[in-house]
């Protein structure tokens, strides 16, 4: 008999390493030692009369040069400071050019962390490949630099001309949802709100037991070849699991889940939501998969972000 799943009540446990905070403080210290050297290059062919588009590049952990798309409202008076939103793409997705958000009064960054196109000159594990890249060692695990790239993007965005550093938020789904939680936990003094859909990288080692979809199937495949490494993978994953970052989030957060998600099991979404201690709201969508109710939820995401960042002319 096949037992019905009960995602809301499922138990997802992740050990919290004793040196979790020290590991991430050292990672950020090493990142902070690297001058970011941000560079903005105008891209007229992608711009419109209402929105200016730029290619943004900055230097991150281990001297990696990272690319992103930046959009901002066109024709603004000198000294204007806009709210800003960082968008982190999904696992296999490339960064978005969020012109529609700039039309509503935001500066946006669509990020390409290491391994993504334009940021893969020195690091390119492939997709699949990133999730288990050097996963036997937390110090060289591929996601260590990837996480640092997102945190540095928050720092760079908050200091760019035209950005109000007191109005910075994060929005993303899947990998973007998980990394939004991570960045909000590591930069609580900067991030003012987070919208996280179908958060990936939460319950990392539990998820392969609920799904055989990628990316988590990478772990199943790796352990079929290297079963002796399960302890090492579990130990490394505990330093990167969103469940261990969630209690450190201080910003208001909007979480949305698809109840039939076969990529990021909803069990893990409920688990991370329970651990969030900041102001929070949860939206669930029956009969929706990894899209997490995208058709219905985007207006709610925009309303949530607007309510906290107050773009000019939108619910000020």
Beta bridge partners of 40: 56
Cβ–Cβ under 8 Å, residues 83 and 139: no
In eight-state DSSP terms, residue 202 is S
- Residue 290 known to be catalytic: yes
Q: Is 174 marked active-site? A: yes
Catalytic residue among 87, 119, 290, 291: 290
The greatest distance separating any two alpha carbons of the chain, rounded to the nearest whole angstrom, comes to: 67
Of 52, 149, 261, 291, catalytic: 261
Q: Which residue has the tokens 């939108």?
A: 314
245 is written with which tokens?
Answer: 């970052």
DSSP E strands, the chain: 39-42, 51-60, 64-73, 82-87, 107-112, 163-173, 191-197, 253-258, 280-285
Instruction: Single out the residue of 104, 109, 114 nearest to residue 51, CA to CA.
Output: 104
- Determine the number of helices (DSSP H) and then strands (DSSP E) in the chain: 9, 9
Measured on CA atoms in the order 250, 253, 257, 261, is the torsion positive or negative? negative
Which residue in 174, 207, 238, 292 is the catalytic one?
174
With beta carbons less than 8 A apart as the criterion, state whether 207 and 199 touch: no
Cα 232 versus chain centre, distance: 24
Q: Where are the alpha helices (DSSP H) in 187-311?
A: 217-225, 230-240, 242-245, 266-275, 294-309
- Per the annotation, the verdict on 238 as an active-site residue is no
**Residues with active-site annotation:** 174, 261, 290
């Amino acid at each position: 008999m096949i037992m019905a799943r009960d995602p809301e009540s499922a138990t997802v446990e992740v050990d919290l390493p004793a040196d979790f905070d020290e590991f991430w403080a050292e990672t950020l210290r090493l990142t902070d030692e690297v001058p970011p050297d941000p560079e903005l290059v105008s891209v007229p062919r992608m711009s419109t009369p209402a929105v200016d588009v730029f290619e943004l590049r900055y230097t991150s952990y281990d001297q990696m040069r990272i690319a992103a798309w930046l959009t901002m409202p066109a024709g603004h008076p000198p000294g204007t400071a806009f709210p800003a939103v960082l968008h982190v793409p999904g696992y296999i997705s490339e960064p978005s050019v969020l012109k529609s958000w700039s039309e509503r009064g935001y500066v946006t960054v669509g990020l390409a962390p290491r391994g993504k196109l334009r940021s893969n000159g020195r690091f390119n594990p492939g997709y699949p490949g990133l999730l288990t890249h050097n996963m036997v060692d937390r110090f060289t695990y591929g996601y260590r630099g990837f996480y640092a790239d997102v945190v540095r993007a928050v720092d760079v965005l908050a200091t760019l001309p035209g950005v109000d550093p007191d109005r910075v938020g994060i929005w993303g789904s899947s990998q973007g949802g998980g990394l939004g939680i991570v960045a909000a936990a590591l930069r609580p003094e900067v991030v003012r709100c987070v919208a996280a859909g179908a958060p990936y990288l939460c319950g990392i080692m539990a998820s392969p037991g609920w799904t055989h979809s990628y990316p988590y199937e990478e772990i199943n495949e790796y352990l079929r070849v290297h079963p002796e490494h399960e302890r090492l993978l579990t130990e490394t994953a505990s330093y990167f699991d969103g469940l261990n970052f969630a209690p450190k989030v201080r910003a208001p957060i909007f979480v949305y889940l698809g109840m039939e998600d076969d990529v990021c099991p909803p069990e893990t979404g409920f688990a991370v939501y329970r651990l969030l201690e900041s102001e929070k709201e949860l939206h669930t969508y029956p009969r929706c998969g990894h899209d997490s109710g995208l058709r219905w939820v985007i207006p709610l995401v925009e309303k949530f972000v607007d309510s906290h960042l107050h773009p000019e002319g939108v619910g000020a």
